[in-house]
Amino acid sequence: MSHRKVESPSALPLLRSSERDDGSWSGSGSGSGSKASLSGSVFNLSTTIIGAGIMALPAAMKVVGVSVGVGAIIFLAFLTHTSLEILLRFSRAAKAATYAHLMGDAFGSSGTLLFHVAVLLNNFGILVVYVIIIGDVLSGTSSSGVHHFGVLEGWFGQCFWTTRTFVLLLATLFVFAPLAFFKRIDSLRHSSALAVALAIVFLLITAGITFFKLFNGSIASPRMLPNITDVSSIWNLFTAVPVLVTAFVCHYNVHTIENELGDPSLMQPVIRASLVLCSSIYILTALFGVLLFGESTLDDVLANFDTDLGIPYSSLLNDIVRISYALHLMLVFPVIFFSLRFNLDDLIFPSARSLDLDHRRFVLITIGLITLIYVAANFLPTIWDVFQFTGATATVCLGFIFPAAISIRDPHGISTKKDKVLSIVMIFLAVFSNVVAIYSNAESLFGKRVDPQQ
């Protein structure tokens, strides 16, 4: 397996450049030698975690009940913490600067290749889906012959500047591209902080509407436990598993953030703070969503904000929720893109000099990827169906299967009995989640294809 040569102390922040006498590693930082801030690292990791999946959590909690839902979110936060701790501990033992290098240390060149493919499938798929959702929210979408108006269509009517192609072109040129050209992930700390703030705005609006309706007596008590009546209801429980299992996957950016921090001991507080913050947002969003919409909660709770909420200024609040969500996804984009670009470059040019030292290669890869994402989101509508299959598989591999496999393989003899037990649990959950997601997606896709015949 070939590794990229680090040519100077100011090499790409994703790679660690120097080893201390005590065996720990220091990040290379940027050309100026500056280190990332603790708060900025928390926001970047939290933004990696909180994406579009947050909108599916209320429906998942509706299915499994409030008690089980809250318990599942807390348990999966703990399991994510375990998997991240395994990654970092084994990385130090292997003196691996990146997740890819760690996979190479454990499984050779095939492990590195498998990791790169998983990141490319996961991150490219996520970004395309994010851009599609942004287009749906701002410019509207049509399904089964019914057109759902976007926010801009509702304000200005149907004209060229509200079309999906034009709106997404503006977003690409003035939001995605400028943020994608940063060479350090810490440079995104302010946009990441705003992304987290926008997720909290959605939470606060949902909570405010819920309390308003609660005082009016128009909200029923939520179901605390799952409602199991027949075989179909049991299967319905399983459909919530993929949403919950993939809620905290952020592993592909952890090494990047740690390397820029410079001090490896700071990464554990960053991980804990991020998981606590995201768990709190997840639990409250799911809880208020279920309280507000009850059994009418849709798979994507954002769709519930496309109707009359039965409160004053309902239309205005709907628009604020949808715009804040679209802006949130725009600001999540560069954080996910950062890892996508690095891993594509590492896959294609494994022996080339560091990417931030080759400005021409950096620019060409960045422009090429952004163009591909824009084209895929605009002109390949069926690509969503493809990513429903590949995305679920790649996501759980990055978050649980790969860390668990490294722990079980244990090339440096540091895995504890607890590590291996939890690794088996992670692999079981990941495989089970994959099977359910693939079956559910196949059933949904088949249903869409046969529906016009009926």
What is the greatest pairwise CA distance in the chain? 71
CA distance 333 to 324: 14
Percentage with pLDDT > 90 across the chain: 56
Q: What is the pLDDT, as a whole number, of residue 302?
A: 87
| pTM score, whole prediction | 0.87
Q: Could you say which DSSP state residue 142 is in?
A: E
Q: Tell me how crowded residue 204 is: count the other CB atoms within 10 A of its CB.
A: 13
CA distance 332 to 53: 12
Residue pair 322/151 in contact (Cβ under 8 Å)? The answer is yes
Residues in CB range of 403: below 8 A, 6 or more apart: 83, 84, 86, 87, 251, 423, 426
Q: Using the predicted structure, report yes or no on whether residue 273 has a pLDDT greater than 50.
A: yes
Given pLDDT bands bounded at 50, 70 and 90, which one contains residue 13?
Answer: very low
Q: Using the predicted structure, report yes or no on whether residue 201 has a pLDDT greater than 70.
A: yes
Rounded to a whole number of angstroms, the distance between the first and last alpha carbons of the chain is 54
- Condensed to tens digits (0 to 9), the pLDDT of residues 382-395 reads 666 666 666 678 98
| Helix axes 254-261 and 38-49, enclosed angle (nearest 10) | 180
CA distance 320 to 36: 32
- The one-letter amino acid code at 272 reads R
Q: What is the pLDDT, as a whole number, of residue 100?
A: 95
Ramachandran category for residue 20: left, alpha or beta (phi over 0 → left; psi -120 to 50 → alpha): beta
Residues in CB range of 105: below 8 A, 6 or more apart: 94, 96, 111, 411
Mean pLDDT of the chain: 84
Residue pair 198/327 in contact (Cβ under 8 Å)? The answer is yes
Between 1 and 364, where is the model more confident? 364
Q: Which residue has the tokens 């994703």?
A: 14
- Condensed to tens digits (0 to 9), the pLDDT of residues 213-264 reads 888 877 778 788 887 777 776 777 777 888 888 899 999 999 999 999 988 8
Q: For residue 296, what is the enclosing H or E element? A: none
SS3 453: helix
Superfamily of structural domain 34-448: Amino acid/polyamine transporter I (1.20.1740.10)
As a whole number, mean pLDDT of residues 399-427 equals 94
Q: What is the pLDDT, as a whole number, of residue 444?
A: 63
SS3 414: coil
| Domain boundaries defined on the chain | 34-448
Q: Using the predicted structure, report yes or no on whether residue 276 has a pLDDT greater than 90.
A: yes
Q: Using the predicted structure, report yes or no on whether residue 171 has a pLDDT greater than 80.
A: yes
* C-alpha to C-alpha distances, 311 to 111, 307, 314, 316, nearest whole angstrom: 54, 11, 6, 11
Percentage with pLDDT > 70 across the chain: 85
Q: What is the pLDDT, as a whole number, of residue 236?
A: 72
Q: What is the pLDDT, as a whole number, of residue 234?
A: 74
Given pLDDT bands bounded at 50, 70 and 90, which one contains residue 143?
Answer: low
- Condensed to tens digits (0 to 9), the pLDDT of residues 41-67 reads 999 999 999 987 898 899 999 988 999
Q: What is the pLDDT, as a whole number, of residue 305?
A: 87
CA distance 357 to 87: 27
Least confident of 20-29, 85-94, 189-198: 20-29
